[in-house]
Structure 1
Amino acid sequence: MHTILVVDDEAIVCQGIREFLEKSDLPIEQVLTASNGYEALDYLRMENVDLVLTDIQMDGMNGIVLMESILSENPDVPVVVISAHDEFDYAQKCIRLGARDYLIKPVLLSQLIEVVNKELTRRSEKYKLRAEDSLKLKFSMTGVSSLRTYFLNEMISGSLAHADDYRFICEQIDVTLSGPYYSVFVTELQWERAGIEGEAIMLLRDRNLLKYAAVNIIEETLTNWDAISFYSYGNKVVTILQLEWDDYETNKADNISKLNMVGKTIVQNIGQYLNMEAIVGISPIQMGLQALPDSYRKASEATKWSPSMIDHDRAIVQQTIAYIRAEFRNQELKIQDIADHVYLSPNYLSFLFKRIANETVWEYVTRLRMEEAKHLLLNTSKKRYEIADEVGYESPEHFSRVFKRYYGESPNAVRG
């Protein structure tokens, strides 16, 4: 069963869509409603939302900014736009931000059912395929022992004597390595801290499953790069990343910085999705396929993400905390704003903050807001709407929902 979030500043529209979807035969458990992007983001951070239906023009955070935030924080959540604006520029921008569809108000109910059903079905199929792939690998060694994997490991081992050997291997496994510049990533998976409950994974088939999942995560992380990832020996996954001549020559310093950020993002994503620590070593960028063995050795020796960086990371988290404490009352505060303040991506900051502070960025924002709200309820005579506004919520109703979810009782009950 699925959860859908409807975002529109017209209450009658939200109510109408919610009632219609709840009465439909679609596999829907609940339909949540929000009057603007800020409320919507709170729901997305608290609930497992399977589909967002949003308007464009709204007070507070509009639909475009909401979609940008979803793309940054929850890129797996599909979005369908329902708007009174039929201008091509609006539709084009929404599609560019990942919108699955763009419906024009007043939307036909049959059309709405068709689109929602399509997206929920697609989401269910996606999870089903992931589960099937995992099960297949759990009882199979083919992913690790394939001919492709064997040849790619030969390329980085230093056993090839001539350039023709590299070309021959590429032809045999149908891989294009045209470079001319390359960097090698070595990702070491930390088995002793793996598993849903943090328990060590000892069985070989379970390690293979985690290794398979790690390769998929690395490939998704490097979607926008020309890269090939494959299994290496023991707990290692190797990635060969290619750079074209013009791109490398004109952006040398920028590319080095980007590679370091990619390495940190790989660590973050493996930690988030597999609950497993990883260390990523990154080689210098070198020219030519025959430099791959040297790049592999240097990547194996390097630790771009290691315990030695913890003091630096703690300093970043402390800067983040100071900024949040100063800004948590701001109704327009977004994770992107917080990440921009410390010059990190939202995803990486979220990982770093969770690792060191033992709570997510938005859990910390919400905690400060709720503690301040409770203090005001117990020590002042301010109205609920005044307190909501003071601690960062535009809607008193939304504030009350978050408060009850956090404390288990309503603001009125706390005040007595």
Structure 2
Amino acid sequence: MFNILVVDDEPLICKGLSSLLAASGLDIDHIYTAGSGYEALDCIRMEEIDLLVTDIQMGAMSGIELMQHAKMTKPWVQTIVISAHETFQYAQMAVRLGARDYLIKPLNSEQFLDSVRSVVLKMNRPSPELATYMDGNGDRFRLEEPLPEYSELLNSLLTETAAVLGAEEKLRKLDELKLQGPFFAVIKIKLPLPQDRPEQRYTTRDHSLLRYAALNIAKELLDQEWNSTAFYSPDQEITVIIQWDEQSYEEPSTGQLSRLEMLGRSLHFNIHRYLQLSAVIGISQILKGLSFMDVLNRQASKAILWNNEQPDHFVFYYGDFNWNNYAADPSPEELHTHSNLIVQKAKEYIDGNYAQKGLTIHEVAKKNHVSPNYLSYLFKKNTGYNLWEYVIKLRMEDSREMILNTDLRRYEIAERVGYESPEHFSKIFKKYFGLSPSELKK
């Protein structure tokens, strides 16, 4: 069964779409509603949402911004966008963020339900090739390797500096590979080898087949919104080169690094979902110029190595550790000290700003010069709380004190602890304490 979140700043639209979904006969468990992007983001953080149906223009946080934050929080959430505007730019941005449909108001009821049915039916359904393999028909699965000449050419570009390549050779490679940039990043995907899984009958052929399947999963994800190429590389890894031209790199977003991190999490999630493999993802920085390809390649490989120190984490960004402070690779003790410092600073920032409306993990991460993904992992590991759980804890404890010791009204307390909606505040409060604010007051 699926959980659906409907987001619109017009209550009648939320109510109408919810009623349509409830009467649709679809396999729906819960239908949630939110009147703003911030309220919706709280719901996504607190609940298991499978499908997000969102308006595109909603005041403080637009539907596009909500999609970006939702993708970072839970990459698997599917989205249908509704809008009163047939603006190509909005539709283009929505599609680039993975929207499954873009519907124009006033909505046609059947068209809306058809769109939701289409998305729901495709959820949890692997591609036909992967389904064939997972159904036990791997022996009949035809393995078609990518062109070895193409992979060899790409791998040579990642290991040779521009100084090694002559001007003529460099231009030829640029033309063949269609790598124009000028901005580039490298992502590496490392799959477990047969010797890493002795408890399973996992042969070399199985690994080749799974590697091929993982490459196809990567390509399917990348084709949605990235100018990229994915290919086999040495050490049984898969490498992805991402490129941006000047215009696309400067397009408004939460930042290209945040988008790369979201892609890394999506790669890990989908490979694990379809292949039951825990792939380790290494993400480089973004640099300008083809001459830095060897640097980016080394950065992505180095990022993967941190899985040796943190085996329960799987997506690593090279820039999350301040390598310049160390003459050599940091020791486990130095890494532990550095991690504790990141968590301490994040905790101090949240303690002072938890009542801020619209507080996000991205803001906390930015203050710590670390990616949201890595900060979330470290915070949970060190404190036992997810970042947002910790924010909720502070807000609820503060609001409880105000309810018991002041005459402030519910909407005033909600405002003081960072909620725009008194109703949403009451819902979170009851879920946290087991009774509503008015019941506690009595």
Instruction: Answer whether TM exceeds 0.5 for this pair.
Output: yes
Q: Does 1:119 align with 2:120?
A: no
Q: Does 1:148 align with 2:149?
A: no
Q: Does 1:15 align with 2:15?
A: yes
| TM-score of the superposed pair, with normalisation by structure 2 | 0.64
In the alignment of these two chains, the number of paired residues is 375
Q: Distance in 1 between matches of 2:373 and 2:213?
A: 19
Q: CA deviation at 1:23?
A: 2.1
Alignment of 1:127-146 (within 5 A): 127-130=124-127, 133=130, 136=133, 139=136, 140=138, 146=144
| TM-score of the superposed pair, with normalisation by structure 1 | 0.67
Alignment of 1:174-213 (within 5 A): 177=177, 179=179, 187-189=189-191, 202-204=200-202, 211=211
Q: CA deviation at 1:75?
A: 5.4
Name 1:104's counterpart in structure 2: 105
Identity, % of aligned pairs?
Answer: 30
Alignment of 1:8-407 (within 5 A): 8-58=8-58, 60-74=60-74, 76-83=76-83, 85-86=84-85, 88-89=86-87, 92-98=89-95, 100-105=101-106, 107=107, 111-130=108-127, 133=130, 136=133, 139=136, 140=138, 146-148=144-146, 177=177, 179=179, 187-189=189-191, 202-204=200-202, 211=211, 214-215=214-215, 218-219=218-219, 220=221, 224-230=226-232, 236-239=236-239, 241=241, 268-269=265-266, 274=272, 276=278, 278=280, 280=282, 302-303=302-303, 305-306=305-306, 307=309, 308=330, 309=335, 311-344=337-370, 346-347=372-373, 349-351=375-377, 353-354=379-380, 357-407=383-433
Q: Secondary structure at the match of 1:409?
A: coil
Q: Does 1:410 align with 2:436?
A: yes
Q: CA deviation at 1:150?
A: 6.5
Partners of 2:145 and 2:212 within 8 A in 1:
no
Amino acid at match of 1:122: V
Q: Distance in 1 between matches of 2:297 and 2:26?
A: 54
Q: CA deviation at 1:390?
A: 1.9
Q: CA deviation at 1:20?
A: 3.0
Partners of 2:343 and 2:382 within 8 A in 1:
yes
CA deviations on 1:335-392 (whole Å, 9 max, x unpaired) are: 3433433345545544554555554332332232223233434454543333222221
CA deviations on 1:264-285 (whole Å, 9 max, x unpaired) are: 7776556655384737497999
Q: Distance in 1 between matches of 2:426 and 2:238?
A: 49
Q: What RMSD over aligned residues (CA atoms) do the two structures have, in Å?
A: 5.0
Q: CA deviation at 1:329?
A: 0.7
Q: Distance in 2 between matches of 1:63 and 1:325?
A: 29
Unaligned 5+ residue runs, structure 2?
157-164, 170-175, 250-255, 310-329
Q: CA deviation at 1:94?
A: 4.8
Q: Distance in 1 between matches of 2:437 and 2:356?
A: 20
Q: Distance in 2 between matches of 1:259 and 1:129?
A: 28
Report the CA distance shift for 1:80/1:267 in structure 2 as closer, same or farther (over 3 A): closer
CA deviations on 1:314-333 (whole Å, 9 max, x unpaired) are: 43333332222222111222
Amino acid at match of 1:11: P
Q: CA deviation at 1:403?
A: 2.0
Partners of 1:221 and 1:265 within 8 A in 2:
no
Name 1:5's counterpart in structure 2: 5
Q: Distance in 2 between matches of 1:386 and 1:357?
A: 30
Partners of 2:284 and 2:297 within 8 A in 1:
no
CA deviations on 1:236-275 (whole Å, 9 max, x unpaired) are: 313163879x98xxx9xxxxxx89995x777655665538
Partners of 2:280 and 2:304 within 8 A in 1:
no
Partners of 1:218 and 1:266 within 8 A in 2:
no
Q: Secondary structure at the match of 2:41?
A: helix
Report the CA distance shift for 1:361/1:132 in structure 2 as closer, same or farther (over 3 A): farther
Report the CA distance shift for 1:266/1:22 in structure 2 as closer, same or farther (over 3 A): closer
Name 2:159's counterpart in structure 1: none
Amino acid at match of 1:101: Y
Amino acid at match of 2:241: L
Q: Distance in 2 between matches of 1:278 and 1:214?
A: 12
Q: Distance in 1 between matches of 2:242 and 2:18?
A: 48
Q: Secondary structure at the match of 2:237?
A: strand
Amino acid at match of 2:16: G
Unaligned 5+ residue runs, structure 1?
158-162, 168-175, 252-257
Q: Distance in 2 between matches of 1:147 and 1:406?
A: 52
Q: Distance in 1 between matches of 2:38 and 2:296?
A: 46
Q: Distance in 1 between matches of 2:77 and 2:434?
A: 28
Q: CA deviation at 1:58?
A: 4.1
Report the CA distance shift for 1:75/1:327 in structure 2 as closer, same or farther (over 3 A): same
CA deviations on 1:9-41 (whole Å, 9 max, x unpaired) are: 333332233223312334433322212222111
